[in-house]
Structure 1
Amino acid sequence: MTGFIYAIESGGRIKLGYSKKPNVRLNKIASDTPFPCILLGYWPGTVADELDVHAKFHECRTRGEWFMVTEPLLAFIAANVIPVPASTKLSESSNIFKRWRAVSGFKQKAAAKACGVDRLTWWRWENDASKVAVELLSTVEAVTGIPRRVLRPDIFTPSSMQDQTP
């Protein structure tokens, strides 16, 4: 049966699976995981295709359908995905901090306090007015589950993160 192979990032790992409705699957996974989920994309495929992808990346499998983030895996996903329509995004917002708060239920003030910053700093992050300072990355990653390579892609690459666990 034809559907889609999807790639969802959560907690520094990527889930590769099969679904006829990737947007519905994203919402289900997001409700089951403690970290924000990002739909990296999907492409047409079958269950057999899904198993082939799992076999291709078996060396970076962590558990079940979850895989470590590696450059070859990200390149494979980028080479195969079709553009993700806006309707398949978990939230209307493209800002990772706004999406995290929507999923976690944190108010802005509580999120800022949990990360050890003032509310204005959090607001700046949510409005793309400033980036997370390097010295805060560990704390923000621990509180939100958002990988540091997503928080600061300008300084972290997949290869620099391969040997670290979330």
Structure 2
Amino acid sequence: MTVDTPTPATRQQLYAVLIALAGDTLLLPNLAVAEVVARDAVQPNPRLPPWLPGLLEWNGRRLPVLRFEPLNRGEAASDPRRERLVVLNSNGRHLPSGQFALVTQAYPHLVTLNRAALQPLPLRERDRPELLLARARVANQEALIPDLDMLEAEIARALTTAGV
């Protein structure tokens, strides 16, 4: 019996997801995605800022729902017929559930990456650098790599301010 030894190329692979937004794309580790659910499950809350359109009842928890585009100073225009919610795992330092939902324009697209597939790009002028780790080119697509800890902290601040 032979045992295959991983080559340096296979050890440096990252299993990730590309998540379509209105006018942008996020790149996250595959492990960050817990589930994809229907957009109609959001319970609106007018006390929250526009980038937090409401809460989602999911697995016995109330999760905040994030629209990333307006939080990152982008356009929030989207096609409601294509919207989905992606439940994301975060570190739980700021939100007790350790999860929040993200409004997307489609189902996440699984990708396997290595160093050759990723090329760093500069942030755009409108990007909020405190919320982002980087921009990168993935094959022929530009993607944002968000800082999930900072997103979670921003969401927690907004929930506290709104008394939710």
TM-score of the pair, normalised by structure 1: 0.28
Q: Which has the higher helix share?
A: 1
Q: Which has the higher strand share?
A: 2
